[in-house]
């Protein structure tokens, strides 16, 4: 866990495996925009940002793009209607800025080159990733609309929008577009937008207490202007916030907070705004706002319903309601006034959302609600006016309109609450971080001067923190004093407590159990393991599984189809009624054929629900990724979840994956008559310069042989004496070289020594005695790796090294077979050792002596017939194979690069989690299929019923208000179905293996 690096945002890169962009985990690591930009720079291209005025629609943008593209020397042109801007790439040898302006003006628009835009962009500009909260989205059509708008913006490399979380993640070039322009573009599209957090490390959002008057604002401005190291700041006095950009080399965030407190004499108190707390408060505000609307609508609707259904049976109230006020009856006027408030005040949000959708050529659920309720309301008003002036009172359906809006708001409120529970995993992870920390203050001579309680968000690398028993560790770091046991189960899922002493690493958010610890903070903020896990889970929840394309497609055509069906329903019933195709008894005495047909038509519009389809996949993925994180299985996206359910083959690396990765020397055999101690000294001296794990095992073994029982018990003294001993007993080495896949060679005392495998010895012409060969074969058959040693051209001895298998390896392999998955082992070790290990754990298919690049080739050979292949590995040499596999699973204790290349991260370093990952994937997509079944079945069954398909046979007619209730609860039912995944429990191996425990 010490090396867990889950996300990194990067722009241009040299090595594809060095850094992986936050959104690059799900596709190309580098956006097409950035690659295109690099190609342009290499070709000597220049860029220009042009403000274009006079554009009113997409036809205008098309005209500007066509005019620019036709101009000689212009390589490409992208025009944004929302921002009134054109982004032009041109060859300065063939075209000038004036030519670009002239081309736009010839097309009938005004143009102006923006200052400092027509220059070559820096080649190594770092891309930023920003997370934005987007309000007003109701279905998949809204998501598609926002994503489409964001992807068209100049400078935006990638954009992902999630309906379930109301969040959008945008990777953009800060030199081409700012976060404020992104927010403005979203708002121009008719949605609400606000920045939640950015990957910029030198920016922070501070909340302020005491910022009430203009005088306080002026005081804050004066303080910030004088603060050295602050590049810029933006004060929002309404929200009592200030966004600062600072130079971390000059001033720290904690210093800025302290300066504001001191310079204002305590009048102003600053604190860092936690983006996750802000997000939670926004969720709470949304729920509160929806509840207020629901209460208002319910209060008014009940009165209308009471007047329609109850009052006619209470004579004195009925007499009052039938009294006339001018040409109108009092009861009708009261209904009209109450319903008008519901329709246009409470229901304003539906009209606004419908307008936004229609303005951008898309349709959503709000369009259906507005059509249904408006049709009912307009008809009722017309009936009221007709009755007032003719004396014949046709039936009115004011209560229908009000009840539809009430039920839809109830559904929306329940949906907001349910969707909030799908992100409980994120909230629980955030709550692990303590709010405060105890900072140990030092004098200049290094002695401790005291302690101070600070905000945990203000911890800086290098700070020494005091952690009391029973409190949470506030940051990743190293123990500098004290011993204790730490419970890391909240991060790793491992229940056993872990002993921590001086030099031990600790993870922020874990619980200190019984002793006082002093830790030196190493990673803070977004660099901590917990923050990276949160970031990974968030990004996974925003990703789209391929199966969701189906819902997106349906969402695009759903509303037009429903409106067509509604019109068809009305026409069918009305024409049949006019022609006398059904008896008059079907139409009530107070109604007529038009009203009879209209009610069926409105029911069809109101009962149809595209929201359930749109929520079927993202809510399930959200819950599943959160559940996985709680069990130590981190999933990088819905696409990884979807692929893992269909795994046919699973490829295992051997060292560090199936084995513990801690090699130990078990056998030493000398064949030259040399003393064992001298032999070990010779081999250890040769291996001392190598970084290979086997070299460390040989050094430890030799050191233990020479110094066992001769070292003090203190850990610090052991380390010091060990370093001193190394400098005394190891021999001087010259011309050292490491030969990958073979071993090492160097000169000791002027003679060549070779330490490595059979290949290294044979290539140098050294003969291996038959006795040594026989001994070596016996070791390899017992799953030990042989290290051969030759000195001055003669074979002198060998050593046997073993890497113990993980205790759960054999059981996991058997469990995977029971699940219908075929296990394969691929290793760079020799064939005899590989076959011995495979036999011990039950793997039948073995590929040995495979180089790192060859592992990817093995995976591709299995993929040729369309099989889905998973790869489990831990090292840098596994990263090509992890990337080549359909599903890559990195052991959590592995290297950063392996974790970056994988789709799953098994935090606990336990092979049982391979079964958990696949089982969770299967359970999740089983739930998604049920969600789609419910959503599709609801619409397939409900729409014909609402259209009156059963009426001729059963007399069953669904009133529009009941249709509204059904529609409201359809999306709630899908979200609740996804929430059932929260009850997921890891499969027990006894269950997988079908073992009965007596």
pLDDT of residue 929: 87
Query: Counting beta carbons within 10 angstroms of the beta carbon of residue 309, is it exposed (0 to 12), middle (13 to 18) or buried (19 or more)?
Result: exposed
Give 254 or 537, the one with higher predicted confidence. 254
pLDDT of residue 89: 86
pLDDT in tens, 231-242: 778 888 777 888
Residues 770 and 728 in one domain: yes
Give 493 or 289, the one with higher predicted confidence. 289
Query: Counting beta carbons within 10 angstroms of the beta carbon of residue 410, is it exposed (0 to 12), middle (13 to 18) or buried (19 or more)?
Result: buried
pLDDT of residue 10: 33
Q: What is the signed CA dihedral for 617, 621, 627, 629, rounded to 10 degrees?
A: 180
Distance of CA 753 to the CA centre of its chain: 52
SS3 275: helix
Q: Which residues on adjacent β-strands are paired with residue 88?
A: 48, 77
- The overall average pLDDT reported for the chain is 78
Residue 412 scores a pLDDT above 80: no
Tell me the average pLDDT across 103-116.
Answer: 75
Domain final position from 879, 904, 921: 921
Residue 783 scores a pLDDT above 60: yes
Residues 287 and 377 in one domain: yes
Q: Which residues on adjacent β-strands are paired with residue 359?
A: none
Contact 25, 625 (CB under 8 A): no
Query: Counting beta carbons within 10 angstroms of the beta carbon of residue 125, is it exposed (0 to 12), middle (13 to 18) or buried (19 or more)?
Result: middle
Question: Which of 430-439, 551-560, 782-791 tops mean pLDDT?
Answer: 782-791
Residue 117 scores a pLDDT above 50: no
pLDDT of residue 571: 93
Residue 3 scores a pLDDT above 80: no
Domain final position from 889, 906, 921: 921
Contact 816, 914 (CB under 8 A): yes
pLDDT of residue 6: 37
Q: How many residues does the chain have?
A: 998
Tell me the average pLDDT across 17-36.
Answer: 32
Q: What band does 789 get if pLDDT is binned at 50, 70 and 90? A: very high
Contact 888, 651 (CB under 8 A): no
What are the structure tokens assigned to 122, written together?
Answer: 């820096």
Domain final position from 528, 556, 584: 528
Comparing CA positions, the residue from 477, 467, 492 lying closest to residue 528 is 477
CA separation (Å) from 420 to 89, 427, 622, 968, 979? 44, 10, 11, 17, 10
SS3 803: coil
Contact partners, residue 112, CB within 8 Å, separation at least 6: 50, 51, 53, 101
Among 17-26, 490-499, 521-530, 840-849, the minimum mean pLDDT is found in 17-26
Contact 125, 195 (CB under 8 A): no
Strands 505-506 and 476-481 turn out to be: antiparallel
**Is residue 427, in this structure, part of any structural domain at all?**
no
H helices within 71-210, ranges in order?
97-106, 140-152, 179-188
Backbone angles phi, psi at 652, to 5 degrees: -110, 130
SS3 635: strand
Q: What band does 746 get if pLDDT is binned at 50, 70 and 90? A: very high
pLDDT of residue 747: 92
What are the structure tokens assigned to 168, written together?
Answer: 């959008």
Which element (helix H / strand E) includes 131? strand 128-135
Among 590-599, 681-690, 985-994, the minimum mean pLDDT is found in 985-994
pLDDT in tens, 575-614: 998 888 888 878 765 567 888 888 888 888 878 877 777 7
CA separation (Å) from 353 to 83, 135, 137, 297, 370? 21, 10, 8, 18, 10
Contact 369, 405 (CB under 8 A): yes
Distance of CA 213 to the CA centre of its chain: 40
Among 127-131, 701-705, 727-731, the minimum mean pLDDT is found in 727-731
Q: Could you list the residue range(s) of the whole structural domain that residue 840 is in? A: 632-659+805-921
pLDDT of residue 918: 92
**Is residue 38, in this structure, part of any structural domain at all?**
no
pLDDT in tens, 155-171: 888 888 877 677 888 88
**Is residue 432, in this structure, part of any structural domain at all?**
no
Residue 38 scores a pLDDT above 70: no
Query: Full-prediction pTM beyond 0.75?
Result: no
Comparing CA positions, the residue from 287, 283, 285 lying closest to residue 295 is 287
Residues 599 and 615 in one domain: yes
Residues 608 and 650 in one domain: no
Give 52 or 298, the one with higher predicted confidence. 298
Contact 742, 757 (CB under 8 A): yes
pLDDT of residue 424: 62
pLDDT of residue 116: 46
pLDDT of residue 39: 39
Tell me the average pLDDT across 807-813.
Answer: 88
Domain of residue 476, CATH code: 2.70.150.10
Place of tokens 């913006």: 153
Among 465-469, 827-831, 832-836, the minimum mean pLDDT is found in 827-831
pLDDT of residue 877: 64
Residues 907 and 932 in one domain: no
Contact partners, residue 58, CB within 8 Å, separation at least 6: 81
Contact 992, 819 (CB under 8 A): yes
pLDDT of residue 712: 46
Q: Would residue 277 be called left, alpha or beta, if left means φ above 0 and alpha means ψ between -120 and 50 degrees? A: alpha
**Is residue 268, in this structure, part of any structural domain at all?**
no
Measured CA to CA, the distance from residue 218 to residue 537 in angstroms comes to 41
Measured CA to CA, the distance from residue 778 to residue 797 in angstroms comes to 15
Share of the chain above pLDDT 90, in %: 8
Residues 327 and 402 in one domain: yes
Residues 890 and 831 in one domain: yes
Tell me the average pLDDT across 488-507.
Answer: 76
Residue 125 scores a pLDDT above 50: no
**Is residue 231, in this structure, part of any structural domain at all?**
no
Measured CA to CA, the distance from residue 430 to residue 626 in angstroms comes to 12
Q: What band does 249 get if pLDDT is binned at 50, 70 and 90? A: low
Residues 459 and 521 in one domain: yes
Residues 467 and 363 in one domain: no
Domain of residue 148, CATH code: 3.30.70.100
Which element (helix H / strand E) includes 163? none
Measured CA to CA, the distance from residue 991 to residue 998 in angstroms comes to 13
Tell me the average pLDDT across 664-671.
Answer: 88
How many domains is the chain partitioned into structurally? Answer: 7
pLDDT of residue 993: 63
pLDDT of residue 9: 34
Tell me the average pLDDT across 7-19.
Answer: 33
Residues 496 and 395 in one domain: no
Question: Which pairs with CB-CB distance under 8 Å and at least 24 residues apart come from 992-996?
Answer: 992/815, 992/818, 992/819, 992/915, 993/811, 993/814, 993/815, 993/818, 994/818
Residues 510 and 552 in one domain: no
Query: Counting beta carbons within 10 angstroms of the beta carbon of residue 347, is it exposed (0 to 12), middle (13 to 18) or buried (19 or more)?
Result: buried
Give 325 or 756, the one with higher predicted confidence. 756
Domain of residue 903, CATH code: 3.40.50.1000
The DSSP secondary structure of 403-446, one letter per residue, reads HHHHHHHHHHHHHHHHHHHHTHHHHHHHHTS-SEEEEEEE-TTS
Measured CA to CA, the distance from residue 104 to residue 498 in angstroms comes to 68
Contact 471, 506 (CB under 8 A): no
Comparing CA positions, the residue from 384, 400, 402, 397 lying closest to residue 324 is 384
Place of tokens 């064939």: 831
Domain of residue 696, CATH code: 3.40.1110.10
Measured CA to CA, the distance from residue 351 to residue 910 in angstroms comes to 53
**Is residue 424, in this structure, part of any structural domain at all?**
no
pLDDT of residue 797: 93
What are the structure tokens assigned to 441, written together?
Answer: 């203050």
**Is residue 14, in this structure, part of any structural domain at all?**
no
Residues 314 and 441 in one domain: no
- HEC profile of 52-111: EECCCCHHHHHHHHHHHHHCCCEEEEEEECCCCEEEEEECCCCCCHHHHHHHHHHCCCEE
Among 514-528, 724-738, 740-754, the minimum mean pLDDT is found in 724-738
**Is residue 3, in this structure, part of any structural domain at all?**
no
Contact 134, 162 (CB under 8 A): no
Q: What angle do CA 674, 680, 682 make, to 5 degrees?
A: 80
Q: What band does 496 get if pLDDT is binned at 50, 70 and 90? A: low
Measured CA to CA, the distance from residue 659 to residue 807 in angstroms comes to 9
CA separation (Å) from 633 to 386, 627, 673? 67, 8, 53
Contact partners, residue 255, CB within 8 Å, separation at least 6: none
């Amino acid at each position: 866990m010490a090396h867990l690096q889950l996300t990194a945002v990067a722009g241009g890169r040299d090595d594809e495996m060095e850094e992986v962009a936050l959104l690059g985990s799900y596709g190309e690591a580098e956006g097409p925009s950035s690659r295109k930009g690099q190609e342009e720079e290499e070709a000597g291209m220049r860029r220009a940002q042009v403000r274009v005025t006079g554009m009113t629609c997409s036809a205008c943008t098309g005209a500007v793009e066509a005019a620019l593209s036709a101009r000689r020397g212009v390589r490409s042109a992208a025009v944004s209607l929302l921002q009134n801007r054109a982004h032009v790439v041109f060859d300065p040898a063939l075209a000038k800025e004036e030519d670009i302006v002239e081309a736009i003006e010839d097309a009938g628009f005004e143009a102006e080159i923006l200052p400092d835009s027509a220059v070559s962009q820096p080649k190594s500009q770092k891309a930023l990733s920003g997370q934005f909260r987007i309000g007003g989205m109701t279905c998949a059509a809204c998501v598609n609309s926002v994503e489409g708008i964001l992807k068209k913006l100049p400078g935006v490399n990638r954009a992902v929008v999630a309906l379930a979380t109301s969040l959008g993640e945008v990777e953009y070039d800060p030199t081409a577009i700012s976060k404020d322009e992104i927010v403005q573009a979203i708002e121009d599209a008719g949605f609400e937008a606000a920045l939640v957090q950015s990957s910029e490390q030198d920016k922070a959002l501070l909340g302020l207490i005491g910022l009430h008057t203009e005088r306080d604002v002026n005081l804050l401005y004066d303080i910030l202007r004088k603060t050295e190291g602050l590049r810029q700041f933006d004060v929002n006095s309404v929200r009592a916030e200030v966004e600062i950009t600072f130079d971390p080399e000059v001033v720290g965030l904690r210093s800025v907070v302290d300066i504001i407190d001191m310079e204002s004499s305590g009048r102003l108190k600053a604190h860092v705004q936690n983006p996750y707390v802000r997000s939670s408060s926004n969720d709470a505000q949304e729920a509160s706002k929806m509840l207020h609307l629901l209460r208002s609508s319910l209060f008014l609707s009940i009165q209308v319903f009471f007047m329609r259904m109850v009052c006619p049976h209470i004579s004195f109230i009925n007499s009052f309601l039938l009294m006339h006020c001018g040409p109108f009856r009092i009861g009708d006027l009261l209904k009209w006034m109450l319903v008008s408030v519901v329709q246009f005040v409470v229901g304003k949000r539906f009209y606004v959302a419908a307008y936004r959708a229609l303005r951008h050529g898309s349709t959503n659920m709000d369009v259906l609600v507005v059509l249904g309720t408006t049709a009912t309301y307009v008809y009722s008003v017309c009936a009221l006016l007709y009755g007032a002036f003719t004396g014949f009172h046709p039936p009115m359906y004011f209560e229908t309109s009000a009840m539809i809006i009430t039920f839809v708001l109830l559904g929306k409120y329940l949906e907001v609450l349910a969707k909030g529970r799908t992100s409980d995993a994120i909230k629980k992870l955030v709550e692990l971080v303590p709010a405060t920390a105890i900072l140990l203050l030092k004098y200049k001579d290094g002695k401790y001067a005291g302690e101070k309680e600070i905000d945990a968000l203000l911890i800086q690398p290098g700070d020494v923190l005091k952690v009391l028993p029973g409190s949470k560790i506030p940051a990743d770091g190293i123990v500098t004093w004290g011993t204790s046991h730490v419970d890391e189960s909240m991060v790793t899922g491992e229940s056993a407590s872990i002993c921590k002493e001086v030099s031990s690493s600790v993870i922020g958010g874990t619980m200190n159990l019984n002793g006082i610890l002093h830790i030196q903070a190493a990673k803070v903020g977004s660099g901590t393991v917990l923050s990276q896990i949160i970031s990974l889970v968030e990004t996974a929840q925003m990703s789209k599984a391929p199966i969701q394309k189906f819902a997106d497609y349906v969402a695009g055509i759903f509303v037009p189809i429903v409106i067509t069906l509604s019109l068809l329903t009305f026409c069918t019933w009305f024409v049949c009624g006019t022609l006398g195709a059904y008896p008059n008894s079907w139409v009530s005495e107070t109604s007529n054929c038009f009203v009879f047909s209209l009610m069926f038509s409105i029911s069809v519009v109101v009962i149809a629900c595209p929201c359930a389809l749109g929520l079927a996949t993202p809510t399930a993925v959200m819950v599943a990724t959160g559940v996985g994180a709680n069990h130590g299985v981190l999933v990088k996206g819905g696409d990884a979840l979807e692929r893992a359910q269909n795994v046919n083959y699973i490829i295992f690396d051997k060292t560090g994956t199936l084995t513990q990765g801690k090699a130990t020397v078990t056998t030493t055999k000398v064949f030259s008559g040399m003393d064992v101690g001298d032999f070990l000294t010779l081999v250890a001296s040769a291996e001392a310069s190598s970084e290979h794990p086997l070299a460390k095992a040989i050094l430890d073994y030799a050191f233990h042989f020479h110094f066992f029982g001769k070292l003090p018990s203190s850990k610090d003294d052991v380390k010091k004496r060990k370093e001193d001993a190394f400098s005394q007993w190891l021999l001087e080495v010259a011309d050292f070289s490491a030969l990958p896949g073979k071993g090492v060679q160097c000169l000791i005392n002027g003679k060549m020594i070779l330490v490595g495998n059979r290949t290294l010895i044979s290539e140098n012409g050294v003969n291996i005695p038959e006795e040594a060969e026989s001994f070596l074969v016996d070791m390899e058959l017992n799953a030990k790796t042989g290290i051969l040693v030759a000195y001055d051209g003669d074979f002198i001895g060998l050593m046997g090294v073993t890497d113990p298998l993980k205790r759960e390896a054999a059981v996991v392999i058997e469990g995977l077979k029971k699940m219908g998955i075929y296990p394969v082992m691929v290793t760079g070790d020799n064939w005899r050792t590989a076959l011995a290990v495979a036999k011990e754990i039950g793997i039948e298919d073995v590929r040995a002596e495979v180089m790192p690049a060859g592992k990817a080739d093995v995976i591709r050979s299995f993929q040729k017939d369309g099989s889905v292949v998973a790869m489990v590995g831990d090292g840098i040499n596994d990263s090509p194979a992890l990337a080549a596999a359909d599903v890559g699973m990195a052991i959590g204790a592995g290297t950063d690069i392996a974790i970056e290349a994988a789709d799953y991260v098994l935090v606990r370093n336990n092979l049982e989690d391979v079964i958990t990952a696949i089982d969770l994937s299967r359970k999740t997509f089983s739930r998604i299929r049920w969600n789609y079944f419910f959503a599709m079945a609801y619409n397939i069954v409900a729409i014909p019923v609402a259209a009156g398909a059963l009426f001729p046979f059963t007399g069953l007619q669904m009133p529009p208000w009941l249709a509204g209730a059904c529609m409201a609860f359809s999306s709630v039912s899908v979200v609740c179905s996804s929430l059932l995944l929260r009850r997921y429990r890891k499969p027990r191996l006894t269950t997988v293996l079908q073992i009965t425990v007596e």
